[in-house]
Amino acid sequence: MKTTVSILFLLSFSLVAKSQISLQKPKNNLSLSVGYNVGLLKDENFSPLNYSENGLTYSIDYLRLNPEKNQLFKVQVDFMSNDLITDASSDFISKLISGNLSFDYQRKLTNSKENFNLYLGGGYQSNINYINYNDQDAFSYFMSHGLNLSATAFLNISEKSHFESTIHIPLFEMVVQPPYAGNDEILEENQEKPFSLITNGEFTSLNTYFALFWTASWVHHVSDKIQLRAEYKFQYQKASTTHLFIQNQNQLCAGATYMF
Amino acid sequence: MKHTLILLTIVFLFSSCEKAILGPDEENTPTNNFDLLWKDFDKRYALFEVKQIDWYGLKTRYRSQIDNNTSESELWDIFTEMLEHLKDGHVSLKSDNDYFESGDSLIKVAQNEFDLDLVESTYLDYHTQTNDLGLSYGKVKDKDIGYIHFENVEGDNDKIFEDVMASLKNHAAIIVDLRNNSGGDDEYAHKIAGAFADGEHFIYSVQTRNGENYGDFDSKKLWYTKPVGNQQYLKPVVLITSRYTVSGAEILTLNMRVFGHITHLGDTTKGDHSDKSSDRFLANGWTYTYSFQKYLMPNGESLEGIGIAPEVYIRNSSADIEAGNDLMFEEALTYLYETYKI
């Protein structure tokens, strides 16, 4: 509920503000943000039960805008370590560790240098989730690596602030999950070879894996070099490959951007 | 923009609704908990065919005893009675107050047929406990024979075992005692055996269940012994086992008994070879585990539920132990003397 109120508050800014400036930005933006995740998870390899996710999330991203060539390049790294909680028992509290790495290249579709700019392109994204109960008495993981369609929109809402929104839709993905039995000789043999494990997956179609990653940011311009950010991130993944996996995350984050 | 706001509000409301996203959670009722457990075993347990278990027959027999008025303790009794048919030490059930392991009656008997304190006080000059809690070693009184006891096979630090072997390597023989050993890590078992390896031998194959049919398994992974470390101990060794030599300790036994200089003495091991699954969860807060693999010997035979028979059979009774006599240990000494004059 808190997240809902907060994001509506943020969005209200974008509704009432009138844009006055064009989006002429410095080329490089380095952002750091910290937030709180409230999510839901079901991983049938791990458990038949429904779980909720709660905990802090951290993000760092680098954005390079090239107004002359109408290009955008972005690298983003997210990390979180959350508790997984189920109604069945307080003893079942588990740990969810997630990481996300994405590279995006997009080109500007709009010609104007005024209020609204839209970029469209694609990129690569790796999303990793590892679940651990009671020092690996039970464990599971879900990873997706692949190419996605991405778009970013910038909307100036005042001289001192603008609104950003980014969306990623994975298209060609390799999904990595534990084997049918949850474990096997290959997994045990490669426990100390993480690269082998995180790439031991199968390619999927949209029928067996669907995901959506959406970020909405309100950005306040403190100075020519510094911006403050308030963000809402929505993530949804559903895979029905080896095991059913569904995850939904809602994150509210605050951060700062250094421009150079 | 109003439309965007409405859309976002809908997204938020949607995302806060667990049922809409994940589907309904599992009901915590006795019947549903039974169904969860039974179906999970049905889909993943690896040894129905090897152990010739009529799992559907057991469902018919026990499901009918449950309704939604069944109490927790009644449900516990029904679950454990059903799982006891599997006679598999890797099948367990755990509640807040109770723990059950299938087929542990042999262990309960065997654990009273060995006493490490008796071995220490009666047969050893010294006995040192290492920093690996399950590993201790010593020297036999008046004999040039070293002694190693493993309480489990879960060493965290390879160096500790290497130091033990360095301490004992000059003895004319070593007794490796795996009695009252609860098992552990197969990888560690391979490492220990590697210190005694006289070469590469095919010891067993492993297959993991990978489908809904009881006969669905992945391809065989073949396991071979292999020397580990710079130097192997190739002088006479007697390996002692009992019915309380379980799981990882049986993997160690399978490794060791193929070496020409090692004699396997004692009682048949427990017969729990498969790795144990991760903890599985029930809606009433209980957890359980099971076997998800099939181990086959080089001749294609499975020893699950049967155990590994020794070359020289001897077994203590609890009365022997109470009287201060470890007949199995004494037989090991006799064997080393009669065969090697050690």
> Which of B14, B33, B281 would best serve as a mutation to test chain A binding (most A beta carbons within 10 A)?
B281
* B22 chain-A contacts, CB cut-off 8 A: 40-42, 50, 246, 248
Helix or strand (DSSP H, E) at B331: helix B327-340
Give the C-alpha separation, B289 to A105, whole Å.
Answer: 47
**Nearest chain B CA: its distance from A49 CA (Å):** 6
Q: Does A241 touch chain B (CB under 8 A)?
A: no
Of A88, A179, A183, the CB nearest to B28: A88
Tens-digit pLDDT profile for residues B106-138: 899 999 999 999 999 999 999 999 988 789 999
> What phi, psi does B14 have (nearest 5°)?
-65, -45
Q: pLDDT at position B121, please?
A: 96
Of A41, A49, A234, the CB nearest to B15: A234
Mean pLDDT value across chain A: 87
Q: pLDDT at position A20, please?
A: 35
Q: Which band of pLDDT confidence, cut at 50, 70 and 90, is reported for residue A207? A: confident
Tens-digit pLDDT profile for residues A173-195: 999 999 999 988 888 877 777 78
Q: With contact defined as beta carbons under 8 Å apart, do B239 and B178 qualify?
A: yes
Give the C-alpha separation, B87 to B85, whole Å.
Answer: 6
Q: Encoding tokens for residue A249?
A: 């995350």
> What phi, psi does B232 have (nearest 5°)?
-110, 150
Q: pLDDT at position A112, please?
A: 63
Q: Does A254 touch chain B (CB under 8 A)?
A: no
Q: pLDDT at position B91, please?
A: 97
Q: With contact defined as beta carbons under 8 Å apart, do A219 and A164 qualify?
A: yes
What are the residue ranges in chain B where pLDDT is below 50?
none
Tell me the three state secondary structure of residue B198: coil
- pLDDT of A22 over the 50 cut: no
DSSP string, A167-234: EEEEEEEEEE---TTS--HHHHHTTT-HHHHHT--EEE-TTTEEEEEEEEEEEEE-SSSEEEEEEEEE
- pLDDT of A8 over the 70 cut: no
Give the C-alpha separation, B92 to B98, whole Å.
Answer: 11
pTM for this predicted structure: 0.87
Report which of B62, B110, B71 is spatially closest to residue B89, judged by C-alpha positions.
B110
Of B11, B206, B221, the CB nearest to A234: B11
Q: Which band of pLDDT confidence, cut at 50, 70 and 90, is reported for residue A4? A: very low
Tens-digit pLDDT profile for residues A85-133: 999 999 999 999 999 999 999 999 987 667 889 999 999 999 999 999 9
Average pLDDT over residues A33-38: 96
Q: With contact defined as beta carbons under 8 Å apart, do B80 and B93 qualify?
A: yes
Beta-strand ranges (E) seen in B87-154 are 92-94, 99-101, 124-129, 135-140, 145-150
Better-scored residue on pLDDT, A13 or B227? B227
Q: Does A176 touch chain B (CB under 8 A)?
A: no
- pLDDT of A11 over the 50 cut: no
**Nearest chain B CA: its distance from A260 CA (Å):** 32
Cα B135 to the center of its chain, rounded Å: 17
